[in-house]
Structure 1
C-alpha cells in the first residue's frame, strides 16, 4: 500500500509547501492575500496532481495506472495539500494576529463597498447575515476556506488527470 502513496506524499508535500510560500509572499504584496492565494491554488493543485500521478505511473507502477489507482493517489495528494495549507495558514495567522485583523477588515470593507449589488441579488437579510458572519470570523475560518478550495478543484482535476493518464496492462 505504501508504494501507492509514495508519490502522493511527495507531491502533496511539494504542493502544500508551494501553497504556503504563495500565501507568505502574497502577505507582503497585498493586504488580503487569501483571494489571490486561491488562484495560485488552482495552478498548484493540478500541477501537483499531474506530477504525482505521472510519477506513480512511470516510476512505481511500470507504466500503468488504472482509474481507481489514479483516484486513490490523487485523493491523498490533494488532501495532503489541503491539510498542509490548513495547518500552515492557521499557524501564520496565529503568529501574526495583525495579519488576521487586516484580512478580516478587508473582507468587511469589500462587503460594505458591494452592498448595493449584493442586496439587489440576494436581499437585505442575506447581506446582513453575511456581514455578521464575516465580522465574527475566526482564524480557523480562513484556513478551512483555503483548504476547501484545494479539495474541490483537487477532486475535479484528479478525475480528469486519472482518465487522461489511465493505461491498463491489458
Structure 2
C-alpha cells in the first residue's frame, strides 16, 4: 500500500489545490463558487485519476495494472482531492464569514424563488424541512457537500479508467 500511496498522493493534492483555486476564482469573477467548483471537479477529477493511474501503471508498476490496483490508486486520488478541497473550502468560509453568509443567502433565495415548484412536486413539508435546514447550514456543511461531490463522481470515473488502463501482461 505504501507504493500506491506514494505514487498517488501528489495527484490528489494537486487536484485538491486546483479545486480550491477554482472556488476562489469563481467567487472573484462573481459566480456561485459552490456550484461551479463542483462542476469544475467533474472535469478535474477524471483528468487527475487518468494521469495518476497511468503514472502508477507505467512508472511504478512496470507497465502492469490490475483492476484492483487501479481502483486503489483512484480511491486514494479522489479521496485526497475531496479532502483537500473540502478542508480548503471550509477554512476559506471560516475566515470569510461574509462569503459564507452570501452563499447561504443565495441558496435561500433560490429555494424561495422555486417554492411553488417544490411544493407542487414534493409537498409543503419537504419545502419547510429544506428551508429549515438551509437556515441551520454551517460552513462545514458546505465543505462536506463539496467533499461528497468529489467522492461520488470519483468512484464512477475510477471504475471506468481502471478498466480502460488495465494491463495484466507486457
- Normalised to the residue count of structure 1, the TM-score between the two structures is 0.97
> Which 5+ residue runs of structure 1 have no aligned equivalent?
none
The structural deviation recorded for 1:70 is: 0.3
Count of residues in correspondence between the two structures: 170
2:86 matched to which residue of 1?
86
1:38-59 alpha-carbon deviations (Å, 9 max, x no partner): 1001011111100100000110
1:113-146 alpha-carbon deviations (Å, 9 max, x no partner): 0111111110110011001101110000000000
> Which 5+ residue runs of structure 2 have no aligned equivalent?
none
SS in 2 for 1:120: helix
2:167 matched to which residue of 1?
167
2:6 matched to which residue of 1?
6
The structural deviation recorded for 1:30 is: 2.5
Matches within 5 A, 1:150-161: 150-161=150-161
Distance 1:117 1:30 in 2: 27
1:25-72 alpha-carbon deviations (Å, 9 max, x no partner): 011123531011110010111111001000001100111100000000
CA root-mean-square deviation: 1.0
Matches within 5 A, 1:118-157: 118-157=118-157
SS in 2 for 1:150: helix
> Does the 8 Å contact 1:11/1:52 carry over to 2?
yes
